[in-house]
Amino acid sequence: MQQVAASTAFIGSALPLRRAPSNRAGRLPRASLVCRAQKQDGQTGGKRLVASSAATLDAPVEEGYQSVWTASYDFDNESPELTKSWKKTMKVAVTGAAGQISNHLLFMLASGEVFGRDQPIQLQLLGSERSREALEGVAMELEDSLYPLLREVQLGIDPRQVFEGADWALLIGAKPRGPGMERKDLLDINGQIFAEQGRALNDVASRDCKMLVVGNPCNTNALIGMANAPDLPKRNWHALTRLDENRAKCQLALKSGKFYTSVTNMTIWGNHSTTQVPDFVNAKIGGKRVPAVVKDVQWLKEEFTPKVANRGGALIKKWGRSSAASTAVSIADHLRSLYTPTPPGDCFSTGVYTEGNPYGVDEDLIFSMPCRSDGDGDYEIIDDFVIDDWLQAKIKETEEELLKERDCVGHLIPGATRAVCMITEDTMLPGEA
């Protein structure tokens, strides 16, 4: 017997998934929903079963216990025509799972929109003590959405339990900058979070787990996480710069009067900050280099570049909140780029480890570069981009900023040779930290 669908809520210190009682040898009762209370120390005494869906979240639990609920379905009752092409379930861990970005992203993941309509997934959602009930609400909505590819949902507040066996870790959660907080303080606070998560991933995730860091400052947080996960491949760490790429494509399309799908070969260099470099030198509109279509070079350098870099702040001024839906879309775009072969002559942007990079960037940073994929979840850095004097100077500027950030969090990077914070200028993207 195999499980076709299950959803599990782990509250506090998580327990392993328990199966519902069998109604005959080798079979589970179809759509059997039970609520269990079990001692946190793993003892079996005091167990009770309640065969009522209404009891799953609201049933009282004795002191010293935790609730675990599960819905299990009989694989044998499903049509072989439906199940014969099902792949092995992919385990996707998401932090900040009760936040606004996740509120959009999780439903795209569960629907098959991201990894494919034939890829079942298990969502492992990390929240906090404060977001326990909100996280349960997220799980309830996922259940009610009847996604056939969603095999299981797990909830927890301990990263080591939530990251167990993960094939992907989408690290969205991070502390926002409070009033009067300097950037170096935020680097330290969030750096500690990502150092802990890196260690947890190193201990319990799949040995080929891939990580996408969204929580800002995402480049340096990814570097910290990577440094604290020495047993996981360094090339598997990504920092999200796809939102910046999408914004750049939008602005070029608007300026040229072309539809955004005509904008290709667009990349973002460097840091996800105001020093980022949207590369109009190599980007194309309708197959032609951007400067041949948008002939206003002054606009490209003095308006287009800062407009893309400051788009998040402009959105906050208009709407009073930071980007959530568009960030979720860009995460989905990033993941699809790794599981869909890159069209010839095109690329996608992602912050990756710079070791051995072909552009002379310091070889111990997470730095956004042009990449392509064969659709197997992996990538390669494209090595033939034209780097003119203007682009070279801008790339150097964002590299120097990332070097300063690395020095600032040197105390969180095992083996770092320098831990001195020399950051004096605030280039954090407004509202996105």
Residues tagged active-site: 272
How many angstroms separate the CA atoms of 119 and 284, rounded? 33
Burial of 54 (0-12, 13-18, 19+ CB in 10 A): exposed
- What would the two tokens of residue 200 be? 């947890």
How many angstroms separate the CA atoms of 427 and 271, rounded? 10
Task: Map residue 142 onto helix, strand or coil.
Answer: helix
Residue type, 271: N
How many angstroms separate the CA atoms of 35 and 19, rounded? 11
Q: What is the DSSP letter of 24?
A: B
Listed in sequence order, the residues at least 6 apart from 291 whose beta carbon sits closer than 8 Å to its beta carbon are 280, 281, 297, 300
CB 258 within 8 A of CB 290: no
- What would the two tokens of residue 153 be? 């949902």
Task: Map residue 171 onto helix, strand or coil.
Answer: strand
How many angstroms separate the CA atoms of 158 and 141, rounded? 22
Selection from 262, 328, 345 nearest residue 114 by Cα: 328
Rg (CA), the chain: 23
